[in-house]
Amino acid sequence: MLRTEALAKGFTLHLRGGLHIPVLAGIELDVRRGECVALAGPSGAGKTTLMRSLYGNYRADGGRILVRHRGTMLDLAAADPRTVLAVRHETLGYVSQFLRVVPRVPALDLVAEIAIARGTPPDRARADADSLLSRLNIPARLHGLPPATFSGGEQQRVNLARGFIGGQPILLLDEPTASLDDENRAVVVDMIRQAKASGTAIVTIMHDAATRDSVADRLFRLTSLQEAA
Amino acid sequence: MTTDSTLLSARGLSLFFSEIPALVDVDIDLWPGEMLAVVGESGSGKTTLLNVLSGRMMPDAGTVWYRDPSDRLHDVQAMPAPDLRRLHRSEWGFVHQDPRANLRMGVTAGGNVGERLMASGARHYGQIRAAALGWLQQVEIDADRIDDLPRTFSGGMLQRLQIARTLVTNPRLVFMDEPTGGLDVSVQARLLDLIRSLVSRFRIAAVLVTHDIAVARLLAHRIAVMQRGRVVETGLTDQVLDDPQHPYTQLLVSSVLQA
């Protein structure tokens, strides 16, 4: 579903006199249908950089990011912006650590709009969003409110609902359970297992080892290029 | 892959104001239903670019092509003035930072919206009034304000009225020059939400000029960064803002205060 070949990524800091910081080199990751791979490694090893590169949020410096999209393997690293948007829309879902949305839009609409954009009729999308938010223990009285005033955990759960409602066949989850209590963490673990069972390929970063081990089929270890150098 | 045709394409646009470069070899592509943000500091040439793309200003060099609904290409700068005016009255729209530049302050809110419909050929009074009313509601202006003069409106309401006036003819392409500039933050948020939902609901393509990269992030699919008349970086909005490659983009992104 998702495979990288010799993926490399670094950052050139022009404001620091052109300092170049290599972060990833020679990354060969392969994720299959229904499989959950957890990125592991010390802080600074490039887990989030890899995750963001897989989503096309960071531009790869070298190598390929092959994604199964509309039946063929497409190189996301070489795709034009509009193709990247189409891949995200249809194929590649992403749950970031922070919710970043237009202010003033109610939580329910923020979740439903993802499904509507993917072709679900608005009524169905709103019903799905409602049950997904409820499953994530966002009380019904909050569904009609914009999430700006929600707690960190509540915002993260709105974010998760946005990630899961689309049903894209590949899902990238960056710390999906970080600010959740045990009860909500269990709900998310359940949702991940369910997505896997229906064939979704998942790449995740989770610092909590117990949660990680309960969903991940294997770990993909990253080592810091800075220390190796 | 995406192979469909562009709605608007510009190649090699250059324009100098005496010695000062306002545009230097600028290429722009816009596809149907797409929102492109043009960002950069004051004097970078963003508004000039908008004026040239919309045929309001002539470049020293370069061409702008517009594809009409029957798939014919038009050279915007070579278009006869009446044709260009007709385009601006119907298929195109222009939203100015100052709504007063577009509204007639001595005509009622409903009249302002209806007038553009009449200019593009509508004649039936009842239908025009119904359309005006519908659009006032789309932009969240109370129906009972339809006969009020714009000068009784707040800044945010004026901007929403301008948007209603612009969209009433169902344009396919809208040029926006700092549409949220000069408004209170709370009013800005409401307007952002409104613009976003309207352009996606009606599949409107837009070129949005803004100095506010947070606005660009929330609204635009793609972004073009301008510095001293040149497009120094272009790409997917979140990619350009989260992983800027050009020194100027890095400076721009790192200079923004985190709210």
For the residues of B37-85, what is the DSSP string, one character each? EEE--TTSSHHHHHHHHTTSS--SEEEEEEE-TTS-EEEGGGS-HHHHH
pLDDT digits (tens, 9 = 90+) for B37-61: 999 988 899 999 999 999 999 999 9
CA angle B214, B219, B222 (to 5 degrees): 95
What is the per-residue pLDDT for B41?
85
Q: Cα separation of B163 and B95, whole Å?
A: 7
Q: Cα separation of B79 and B85, whole Å?
A: 10
Strands A19-27 and A92-95: unpaired
What is the per-residue pLDDT for B36?
97
Which run of H or E residues covers position B26?
strand B20-30
**Banded pLDDT at B1 (limits 50, 70, 90):** very low
- What is the b/e burial string over A83-119, where b = at least 16 CB atoms within 10 angstroms of the residue's CB? bbbbbbeebbbbbbeebebbeebebbbbbbbbbbeee
Average pLDDT, integer, range B104-133 = 93
| Cβ–Cβ gap A52/B243 under 8 Å | yes
Q: Cα separation of A87 and A22, whole Å?
A: 27
**Banded pLDDT at B256 (limits 50, 70, 90):** confident
What is the per-residue pLDDT for A226?
66
Alpha carbon A163 to its chain's center: 7
CA distances from B103 to B99, B121, B165 (A): 6, 19, 8
E-strand stretches of chain A: 2-13, 19-27, 30-31, 36-40, 62-69, 72-75, 92-95, 170-174, 201-205, 218-221
Sign of CA dihedral A152, A157, A161, A164: positive
What is the per-residue pLDDT for A184?
94
Residues of A in contact with B251 (CB under 8 A): 14-15
Residue B186, pLDDT > 80, answer no
What are the beta bridge partners of residue B235? B223
Please give the average pLDDT of every successive group of 10 residues along chain A, which has 229 residues. Answer: 96 92 95 97 93 96 97 96 95 88 86 90 95 96 92 92 94 92 95 97 95 96 73
- Among the residue ranges A31-45, B57-71, B173-187, the one predicted with the least confidence is B173-187
Kindly report the nearest CA distance between residue A210 and chain B, in angstroms. 31
| Cβ–Cβ gap A15/B247 under 8 Å | yes
For B195, the closest chain A residue by CA position comes to: A102
Q: Cα separation of B166 and A85, whole Å?
A: 28
Amino acid in the structure at residue B7: L
Pick from A52, A81, A83: CB nearest B1: A83
Average pLDDT, integer, range B19-28 = 94
Kindly report the nearest CA distance between residue B174 and chain A, in angstroms. 19
Looking at residue A128, what DSSP letter applies? Answer: H
Q: Cα separation of A171 and A202, whole Å?
A: 5
Exposed, middle or buried, A136 (CB in 10 Å: 0-12/13-18/19+)? buried
* Residues composing chain A: 229
Give yes or no for a contact between B46 and B226, defined as CB atoms under 8 angstroms apart.
yes
Q: Cα separation of A7 and A55, whole Å?
A: 13
Tell which wins on pLDDT, B249 or A98: B249
Q: Which two tokens stand for residue A42?
A: 């010390």
Tell how many helices (H) and how many strands (E) occur in chain B. Answer: 9, 10
Identify the CA nearest to A63 among candidates A75, A80, A71, A52: A75
pLDDT digits (tens, 9 = 90+) for B190-213: 888 888 888 888 999 999 999 899
Kindly report the nearest CA distance between residue A16 and chain B, in angstroms. 10
What is the per-residue pLDDT for A104?
80
Q: Cα separation of B118 and B130, whole Å?
A: 13
Pick from A84, A104, A117: CB nearest B189: A104
What is the per-residue pLDDT for A193?
97
| Cβ–Cβ gap B243/A59 under 8 Å | yes
**Banded pLDDT at B3 (limits 50, 70, 90):** low
CB neighbours (10 Å) of residue B94? 19
For B35, the closest chain A residue by CA position comes to: A82
Average pLDDT, integer, range B17-36 = 94
Amino acid in the structure at residue A145: L
| pTM for this model (two decimals) | 0.91
Residues of A in contact with B250 (CB under 8 A): 13-15
Residues of B in contact with A57 (CB under 8 A): 238-239, 242-243
**Dihedral angle, C-alpha B7, B12, B13, B19, nearest 10 °:** 170
- What is the b/e burial string over A17-51, where b = at least 16 CB atoms within 10 angstroms of the residue's CB? eeeeebbbbebebebeebbbbbbbbeeebbbbbbb
What is the per-residue pLDDT for B259?
45
Residue B2, pLDDT > 50, answer no
Q: What percent of chain B has pLDDT over 90?
A: 80
CA distances from A125 to A118, A122, A132, A171 (A): 10, 5, 10, 19
